[in-house]
Structure 1
Amino acid sequence: MYGGQVPGPNTSLDFILPPNMAALMDSLTLTSTVQIPDVEKAVNMSLFSNEQARLQSSVTTFNYAVYHPMSEIYQWMLDQAASTKYVTIMDIGSTNGGNDIKVLKISVSLAPNRPAVFLEGTLHAREWISPASILWMTNELLQRYGTDADVTAILNEFDIYVIPVVNVDGYIYSWQSPEVSKIVLDFGGRTETTQEQLEKNIQGALGTDLNRNFRIRWSAWDPDNVNPCSDTYKGSFSFSERETRALKSFVMSISNRVAFIDIHSYAQLWMYPYAYKQGVTRNDADFRASAQAATAALTAVHGTTYKYGPIAEVIYQVTGSICDYMYKKARIKYSVSLELRDKGQYGFLLPAEQIIPTGEETLAGILAFLDYVRNNP
């Protein structure tokens, strides 16, 4: 099983392999490096250290330097709405498991039809850095409004809709069975947590990858995602999943849509359409200029380097992707997908001590990106 970037020339591919594969790897004409010697041990250590940090946290102060289960993310959203006058919370739908998909709206003005920005994460449940970084960045926006010139300018211009977790059922399951979801399965877009689905999981039929389920070249060429046992299974039909339908309906209900930011991990990439085909969009100049500004600002914080470009060019071709859908169908000019830290040293097991540094650099990139959007509508 692989993770991270799928290679073209002069790139790399990450595999999770059983321990008896060393001889086979040695026999191949490949240059290989062991990133994580024992993935199961790494998962257990990561979970243990995060749980210890959570237990040591104050019961009254939210700790942004640890990963949080869904119940605590829900409570954080409710607390933000209760404590900040320009924050509201809304439910945009429910999952197969009966869980709410919640959105936090930040709007410092009562003016109608303000330009809307969507900050969305956790289409893939095992990518825990996605909601963790989104929570930290959202808090920074709220705390720095009125004192930080860059933040104030952005919030004065845009309404921002924050969706920390789209794949709520999958994220909950990834906390209940992390040794499965973070090692054995590509737990992306797993939308059912019933006993029947858990039995299917054991047999290999894992559910639907939400980032293959949008109605944009959904039934196109990809031969792997038609298999229900594939970890990139596109679903039985486009928008077959409650989560993708809810997100699509919500976004379409907002009239003045200007930017959509989709957060994933890992590979350190800033990407934009097209995903379903090679080639560039008619907005390629703005995409490239905004990505260049964003990645330069991001790198300036901690030195973390990002590659940018069209999804099909920098990672792989994808059908049914959210980034393409929001650009082509929702007509959002600036639709981007980010792959956060790292490049494979920890992969999906990014240590909790990297949450805040990841949030710091990503927020700098997003602020630079939105500044470009503001000046180049």
Structure 2
Amino acid sequence: MGRNGHSRSNTGWIGRTAYLASAIALMTAAGAVAQDMSQDQPVPEPYPTRIDGYQLVRVWIDQPSDMRIVDRLTDDIWSHHVGPDGAIDILVSPEQMTLLGQSRLPAVVLNDDVQALIDAEWARLHSPTRVGHDGGQSILGDDWYLDFKTYDEVMAYLDELAARNPDIATVVEIGTSIEGRLMKGIEIRGLNASANCEEVLFNGNQHAREWVTPMSSTYIAEQLIDGYGVDPDLTAIVDTYAITVVPISNPDGYSYTWTNYRLWRKNRRNNGDGSFGIDLNRNWEYEWGGVGSSGNPNSDLYRGTDPFSEPETQALRDYILDRPNMTMHIDIHSYGQLVLYPWCFSNQRIEDYETFRSMAVAISDAALAVHGKYYRPGQWYSDLYPSSGTMIDWCYGARSGMMTYNIELRDTGSYGFLLPPEQILPTAQELFAGLVTMMQTGYEARPMLDVSELVYGSQAQLRGGRMTPGMTAYFIYSLTGEGSTYVPQLDVTLSLAKPVLGGSATVGNDGIASLVKPLPGSGPPRIIWVQAAEQQRVSNLITTQINN
């Protein structure tokens, strides 16, 4: 049986033959590109960090001990999931390749010279004839997607997109990276959108080497802006939601992949021991520090010293926290062609499993209809690999059931992070089709409760978001613990034992209800459980402590 409970079959070996053919074609293409580029004018010196002799290898694992062998060999695992037949893609040095052979794990070489692909890509991108090197003139429309773009080019493109329809589009500054680069996004809100409309966030490029994600993110913004007032479906979406697109969540790492090392994954924090970088998608607070992350600063999965230690994750967190009506979110990655939902840290099903599963299938079906590419839906833990401290776990677990997915874009391993430029636009079109389906379907997230720090002698501040304007919100607590209590007057079941009503407030037009409650002057530290509820709707449960 494979790692995910799949038995190895003859079709797996047929697939390996196909991958051998694909690998041969890939190496031939890389050589041809490099030869063609040698006819052009001289180009700048390639990346100073090189991986000459490194190979991309597909390994088949049958049991957990096989995965432990892989983990000891390398932490540069390219594929974002273990395939149905137990396959996983890894980058190995010549020495690691020798050890892999000694391990006797079934394996096939997908590319025997990854550096050649990187060199060919570098030469193409630095050619004087490269699309985008046009004397500073902007490129709009489909020409933008003819090749990958730098951080500066993507940021400039956001400004141009907003300028095309400033009535609905505004460039927003999310935050600043550790090296001082702006994290910019674009907010799109229709002229008929209500003041308390639901909000949606799409962010790309938490992992620096995933170059197709900023391109696909800009496509989302472009289509929504250009389609407003022209396409009835897109107009309706923009008039329903406030949509923010953040194409580059890791500005420093992304810039580094253009100048120093193409396959860099993390941000660029100096860890103080000669190593650099935190894996931003292991730095989120929910279940931080557990399985699928590393405490080794040299690891590509290094989670940092504390949750939210990085300005990049802090910026995204604060942007979400400032928007209590945010109900849907997509974290855009590559590669693997997957639509993944929580949990990442546990194999337990989330409370909204059936709803999330159904939506993931709908997103996958919509993507498939565009170019015939299948995006496999599934729970991250079982369809990818166990991971802790991820963005989608935080969005769901800490934000009261926000609908959140991690979508892995093209491809399934033939090129991986070094996707050919002719696949940029089709990839973006597949993603956009899935996201349109999600927004058209909609999702009613549970009310969202936030509670301030509780200190004896001060005032507790409780805020309920995503609530129904004009309704009465009830703030309820327990000093006993969690439980299950049905309240017939509201027709809700609280997750509290022996609940006590702390107070109530009328929900404003923005969907927010607030309550300020004085706390006793003194007392021993005490754990308290809190929920908010309105007619037939109940919020997340918050467990906190009253301190001196």
TM-score (norm 1): 0.90
The CA deviation string for residues 203-239 of structure 1, in whole angstroms up to 9 with x for no partner, is: 5x231100001111113345x5111111110001011
Report matched runs for 1:98-137 at 5 Å.
98-109=180-191, 111-137=194-220
Tell me if the contact between 1:283 and 1:333 (Cα under 8 Å) persists in the aligned partners. no
Residue segments in structure 2 that go unaligned for 5+ positions in a row:
1-75, 447-548
The CA deviation string for residues 330-353 of structure 1, in whole angstroms up to 9 with x for no partner, is: 235311101100111101101111
Tell me if the contact between 2:291 and 2:345 (Cα under 8 Å) persists in the aligned partners. no
2:374, 2:94 → 1: CA distance? 32
Per the TM alignment, residue 23 of structure 1 is displaced from its structure 2 partner at its CA by 5.7
Tell me if the contact between 2:168 and 2:225 (Cα under 8 Å) persists in the aligned partners. no
Match of 2:486 in 1: none
Structure 1 or 2: larger strand share? Answer: 2
Select the residue among 144, 149, 154 that pairs with 1:73.
154
2:119 counterpart of 1:44: yes
Match of 1:61 in 2: 139
Match of 1:300 in 2: 369
1:103, 1:35 → 2: CA distance? 36
Residue type matched to 2:289 in 1? S
What secondary structure is seen at the aligned counterpart in 2 of 1:103? strand
The CA deviation string for residues 135-191 of structure 1, in whole angstroms up to 9 with x for no partner, is: 1222112112223233222212111011111111111111111xx241xxxx33313
Match of 2:223 in 1: 140
Report matched runs for 1:148-167 at 5 Å.
148-167=231-250
Moved more, 10-19 or 274-283: 10-19
Moved more, 16-25 or 230-239: 16-25
What secondary structure is seen at the aligned counterpart in 2 of 1:16? strand
Match of 1:16 in 2: 91
Cα 1:374–1:325 change in 2 (3 A) is: closer
Cα 1:14–1:328 change in 2 (3 A) is: same
Select the residue among 220, 225, 240 that pairs with 2:290.
220
1:370, 1:228 → 2: CA distance? 39
What secondary structure is seen at the aligned counterpart in 1 of 2:343? coil
Tell me if the contact between 1:213 and 1:234 (Cα under 8 Å) persists in the aligned partners. yes
Q: Percent identity?
A: 31
Tell me if the contact between 1:267 and 1:343 (Cα under 8 Å) persists in the aligned partners. yes
Larger relative CO (CA 8 A, sep 6+): 1 or 2? 1
2:257, 2:115 → 1: CA distance? 15
Match of 1:252 in 2: 321
Cα 1:357–1:9 change in 2 (3 A) is: closer
Tell me if the contact between 1:206 and 1:231 (Cα under 8 Å) persists in the aligned partners. no
1:118, 1:316 → 2: CA distance? 24
1:255, 1:41 → 2: CA distance? 48
Tell me if the contact between 1:191 and 1:241 (Cα under 8 Å) persists in the aligned partners. no
The CA deviation string for residues 41-63 of structure 1, in whole angstroms up to 9 with x for no partner, is: 00111222234433565823232
Per the TM alignment, residue 64 of structure 1 is displaced from its structure 2 partner at its CA by 2.3
Tell me if the contact between 1:287 and 1:334 (Cα under 8 Å) persists in the aligned partners. yes
What secondary structure is seen at the aligned counterpart in 2 of 1:189? coil
Match of 1:93 in 2: 175
Matched length: 363
2:348, 2:443 → 1: CA distance? 26
Match of 1:310 in 2: 379
Cα 1:268–1:318 change in 2 (3 A) is: same
Per the TM alignment, residue 36 of structure 1 is displaced from its structure 2 partner at its CA by 1.8
Structure 1 or 2: larger helix share? Answer: 1
2:92, 2:243 → 1: CA distance? 41
Per the TM alignment, residue 370 of structure 1 is displaced from its structure 2 partner at its CA by 1.8
Tell me if the contact between 1:260 and 1:332 (Cα under 8 Å) persists in the aligned partners. no
Match of 1:366 in 2: 435
Select the residue among 152, 158, 169 that pairs with 2:252.
169
Cα 1:57–1:344 change in 2 (3 A) is: farther
Select the residue among 396, 400, 421 that pairs with 1:327.
396
